Homo-oligomer: A and B are copies of this chain.
Amino acid sequence: MASIREVAKLAQVAPSTVSRALNSSGYVAEETREKIKAAVAELDYVPNQWIRNLYRQSTGIIGVVAPGLIHPFFSSLWNHLELELRKFGYNMMLCSTGGDEQREREYLDTLERNLFDGVIDGAAVLPDENYAKLEKPIVFLDRIVPGIPVVSSDHRQGGELAAKKFLECGCRKVLHTVGDRQYRLQSHEGDDALDRYLQEHGVETIREEVSWDDTTDYASCYKLTKKLLTAHPDVDGVLASDLQAAAFLKAAASLGIDMPGKLNIIAYDGTFVTDFNSTTPTAIVQDVRTIARQTVAVLLKRINGQQLAQDQIVVPITLVEGETTNRTSFKAK
């Protein structure tokens, strides 16, 4: 790896002149420029970007903290984030915590101590105070902490869309799986909205708290869903994330439950995995691309020191009708 000094020596100029020529900053005589160009070619000189970063105090790398890479919703989110960051000349360092506190802490530490330009935390599971001392521009996904910008789907809308669909289908008892409630997440709004709306309309709801494994690992999902369907035989509506919904579908079939006659299932997320099923589920679809776009937009504003109009950004969500909910409802009249 040739250094700038070697180039300078060969071109018989000072290192600073080479620097200027290469960055086209400041004046360099055409003749000198030529000599330098020749020397660069001869030595196959490539400036060490790392060192440049040292001066610029920036690397063009954004750290992304993820709970996992396999879950279809997240893998597709990271994919879109990468594309979006690339658009603005940034690279992405992807860190996966597996939902573990300690690992998140370690990663945040690494990201803080290195010259990363910013952080996107999609796996924030630490108490609020841990985030207070972070100096880097940061954006959260879903997790709400005062003073930190957060991007997420409009889960309240998602919950309501699902609730309305269940009502249309004439459901009387709806079960939905919810995550841990220890910290404030935007997605909790969805659970609350669902319950509120359904209960206002006289429909019973059951919340079933599930672990991260139960939403990520299909085998766990399947075991869980079978258990739930057995424990609550009178449930006629289910809202659960894609994988779980797929598992519910399979489990219900194996239990001989008539669908969608006796059981309406709505999948939350609407990633590509729902396509596999022989029956296409009705799904609440998150707009991953827009989430990625907004997240990057917010982060860049932070990096450039601009003010944000709002700390919380919610992205609209849609319901896509499939075959797992009753079409012959009174809505269709």
Contacts and interface: CB of A to CB of B under 8 A. Distances in A.
A332 interface: no
A68 B79 CA distance: 7
Contacts of A231: none
Contact of A94 (B72, B94, B253): B94
Contacts of A10: none
Interface stretch (A35-43, A108-116, A191-199, A303-311): A108-116
A182 interface: no
B61 A69 contact: no
A104 to B, nearest CB: 13
Nearest to A93: B93
A110 B82 contact: no
A250 B272 contact: no
B275 A219 contact: yes
A328 interface: no
Interface string A71-102: 01001101100110000000111111000000
Judged by DSSP, the binding face of A is: helix
Nearest to A249: B278
A68 to B, nearest CB: 7
A49 B110 contact: yes
A302 to B, nearest CB: 17
Contact of A113 (B48, B112, B278): B48
Interface residues on A, range: 35 or more
A222 B276 CA distance: 10
B72 A79 contact: no
Nearest to A64: B94
Given A51-B54, A70-B75, A93-B94, 10 more contacts: A69-B69, A69-B78, A69-B79, A75-B75, A78-B94, A91-B110, A92-B95, A217-B272, A276-B277, A277-B277
Contacts of A217: 272
A54 B55 CA distance: 12
Interface string A108-152: 001011110000000000000000000100000000000000000
13 contacts: A47-B113, A48-B113, A49-B113, A50-B53, A51-B54, A61-B93, A68-B79, A70-B272, A82-B96, A93-B93, A218-B276, A276-B277, A277-B277
From A112, A246, A273, residue with most partner B Cβ within 10 Å:
A273
A1 interface: yes
B91 A91 contact: no
Contacts of A135: 1
